[in-house]
Structure formats: structure tokens, C-alpha cells
Amino acid sequence: MSTISSDEVARVAALARIALTEQEIGRLAGELDVIANAVTRVNEVATPDVPATSHPVPLTNVWREDVVVETLDVADVMRAAPKAASGMFAVPQILGEDA
């Protein structure tokens, strides 16, 4: 049984101001009907005894705990930089803006 008609697709396309040909309207009506039928089948299977899932495999957080450690010395980092100015990395200008 068709749940989405060509007339309905044409009406929604007009509301959205989307120009569709008759061929496109017919194709979209068929595709949307397939989607609507698939949703109907899922709703038939999704009974209260079937738990809702957002992912098929249980996920666990695999990140490590944050640990405060000694940071790098700014002077050492600037000495290792290809080019530095005023305690910051100096990079080539790329946007054509005045410095």
C-alpha cells in the first residue's frame, strides 16, 4: 500500500520552493514510500521487550585519567622553533593581511 503519493511530494516540493519534474516527483514518491514502509516494519518489531539501542556494541571510555605533569619550559620550546618572536612561534603570512 502506497503511503506517499506523487501529489503529496509535489505539494511539499512547492512549499519548499523546490522545482521538480514529473519524473523526479514520481521517483521521489517511490523512494519515500520505501522509507516509510521500512519505518513501519521497524515499528512493528520494536516492542516493549526489545531494548532501545543507540549502538550495536556496548561502548566504554578507553581514555586515561588526566594527570598533571611538569610542562615544557617556554625558552626551550622557543629555542627549538624554526623561527620565534616575542615568545611566540613566527609563521609565514598567508592571508595577505597587513602585519
Say what the pLDDT of residue 1 is. 56
Q: What is residue 98's predicted lDDT score, i.e. its pLDDT?
A: 67
pLDDT tens for 1-58 read 568 999 999 999 999 999 999 999 999 999 999 999 998 888 888 788 877 778 888 8
DSSP-assigned letters across all residues of the chain = ---S-HHHHHHHHHHTT----HHHHHHHHHHHHHHHHHHHHHHHH--TTS---SSSS-----PPPP---PPPPHHHHHHHSSSEETTEE-----S----
Q: Which fold has domain 6-45?
A: Histone, subunit A (1.10.20)
Domain spans, the chain: 6-45
